[in-house]
């Protein structure tokens, strides 16, 4: 796990270039991943969704465009500011607040769904972050986790590792002008647990009907689980 304070500081510095870096990071298929996450969250129109580790708010904005009442939460003020500026130009406007994924600024059971896209691996304590999402979701509500996979075999796996260990840190430096931009990624992404491990962790935390499916040849995995019914937090 990368040092949380170092990651926090890095995200604050690269906030102006974050959107471009994020498109590069996703290999240009972030729209597909986002649509899959929204579909997995279920029918969101008229419902409240908390988007943890929201960054500059792309998933939050997409959820709001579907008619959800969205609260986007990020630990970096610079990211929240950019998300708010982006939302100001849209008809559907989520509420963006600064907050820690380990202490989401919502009451227990106040959301119908919780999402996190490519952020839970940067939380200081992944299990606590997942459990906090469970706390804010009503009984039976859906939690959706979109994260990178780690293809380990063959030419594709070798190219994937090369991309994250060499290409992406170099692009981060060039695009953002920050020597440390995304320097944490190789350890963060390549050390990420296999999908079955994350599914078991969600079950151990009390989520029900936990499952996952690969997206785009295992570059990303979509996990989901439901908050247990009848167990108020």
Q: Average the pLDDT over each of 85-89, 152-156, 222-226 and give the range with the smallest value.
A: 152-156
CATH of the domain at 218: 3.40.50.150
Determine, yes or no, domain membership for 160.
Answer: no
pLDDT digits 0-9 by tens, 69-109: 999 999 999 999 999 999 998 888 899 999 999 999 999 99
**CA distances to 57, 75, 94, 119, 156 from 7, in Å:** 18, 10, 25, 11, 28
User: What's the confidence (pLDDT) of residue 163?
Assistant: 84
Nearest to 156 by CA among 216, 214, 226: 216
Residue range(s) defining the domain that contains residue 57? 4-149+193-226
Residue 162 forms part of a structural domain: no
Give a yes or no: residue 183 inside a domain: no
Could you tell me if residue 97 is inside a domain? yes
Domain count, the chain: 1
Query: Does a structural domain hold residue 156?
Result: no
Would residue 66 count as lying in a domain? yes
Residue 62 lies in a domain: yes
Tell whether the model's pLDDT for residue 1 goes beyond 60. no
The answer to whether residue 163 is domain-embedded is: no
């Amino acid at each position: 796990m990368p040092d949380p304070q170092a990651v926090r500081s890095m995200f604050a510095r690269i906030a102006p270039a974050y959107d471009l870096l994020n498109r590069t990071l996703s290999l240009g298929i972030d729209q597909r991943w986002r649509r899959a996450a929204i579909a997995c969250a279920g029918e969101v129109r008229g419902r409240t969704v908390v988007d943890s580790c929201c960054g500059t708010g792309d998933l939050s904005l997409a959820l709001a465009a579907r008619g959800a009442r969205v609260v986007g939460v990020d630990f970096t003020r610079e990211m929240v500011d950019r998300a708010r500026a982006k939302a100001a130009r849209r008809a559907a406007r989520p509420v963006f607040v600064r907050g820690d994924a380990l202490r989401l600024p919502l009451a227990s059971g106040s959301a119908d769904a919780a999402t996190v896209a490519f952020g839970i691996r940067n939380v200081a304590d992944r299990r606590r972050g997942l459990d906090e999402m469970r706390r804010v979701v009503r009984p039976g509500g859906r939690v959706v986790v979109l994260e990178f996979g780690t293809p380990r075999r063959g030419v594709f796996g070798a190219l994937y590792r090369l991309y994250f260990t060499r290409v992406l840190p170099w692009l981060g430096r060039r695009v953002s002008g920050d020597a440390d931009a995304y320097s944490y990624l190789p350890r963060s992404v390549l050390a990420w647990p296999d999908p079955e491990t994350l599914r078991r962790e969600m079950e151990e935390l009390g989520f029900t009907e936990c499952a996952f499916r690969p997206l785009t040849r295992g570059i990303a995995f979509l996990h989901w689980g439901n908050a247990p019914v009848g167990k108020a937090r």
